[in-house]
Amino acid sequence: MKRVLQEGVLIAVIGAALAFAANALSPAACRSPTTISRQEGCAADSGSGHQRDERRSRDDQFTLELLSARFRAEGLQLADSNQAMRLFRDPRREQDGVIFIDARDDDHYRAGHIPGAYLFDRFQPQDYLTNVLQVCLTAQQIVFYCNGGDCDDSEHAAIFLRDSIGIPKEKVFVYGGGINEWTTNGLPIELGSRNSGQFTNVAGAAASGKVEGSKQ
């Protein structure tokens, strides 16, 4: 009976996925690595280093506030870098009680992703639903991410999966800084497939207890 129900849900979700993909109007620019939009004006900054740091800090805070307000309106929760790191280190992640979902495409995922993250390309949802359906239904907390900044793939993926398979909104988070912030902070990056054991950041991987097979 459980399998029949899961298959029924999967068929319904695939139908919704095809309709969703046909109406997707978001630009593909999010598929390329981006930086937080405020960085576009950094070259024009003037003044001392301290003043620039203060401006950047204010800009970062303003960006987070805007994201948080937008996410709240959509029934989503914003995860900042500290919360994303806490969830990554949560022991429940080892049993998929906490999961990360990478909302980019396969090429970007294989070039580097948060260790253990599942892949869900929202532009081809039917190809990835079987990999994430069960873990999304059983996980206690789900963190979606893409490149960060002005990339909205993670936001759309979170809304789609939440509404398609009935994930309680309290479980859903979107990591606003995304993979760009994660990398900038020197945190571990896994290469290739999920749980490949190959890392680009040995120090970060070691701090996370994942050093086997790692490389520079």
DSSP state of 199: B
What pLDDT is stored for residue 38 in this prediction? Answer: 42
d(CA 117, CA 129): 14
What pLDDT is stored for residue 149 in this prediction? Answer: 85
What pLDDT is stored for residue 37 in this prediction? Answer: 42
Tokens standing for residue 135? 């873990």
Q: What residues in the chain have per-residue pLDDT under 70?
A: 1-47, 51-60, 62, 202-216
- Contact between 67 and 176 (Cβ < 8 Å): yes
What pLDDT is stored for residue 25 in this prediction? Answer: 43
d(CA 73, CA 71): 5
Sequence-distant (≥ 6) Cβ neighbours of residue 9 within 8 angstroms: 133, 165
- Contact between 172 and 76 (Cβ < 8 Å): yes
Which residue stretches of the chain are H helix?
A: 2-22, 49-73, 81-89, 106-111, 129-138, 153-165, 178-184, 202-207
Question: What is this structure's pTM?
Answer: 0.74
- Contact between 129 and 100 (Cβ < 8 Å): no
What pLDDT is stored for residue 35 in this prediction? Answer: 40
Q: Which CATH architecture has domain 2-24+75-207?
A: 3-Layer(aba) Sandwich (3.40)
- Contact between 190 and 112 (Cβ < 8 Å): yes
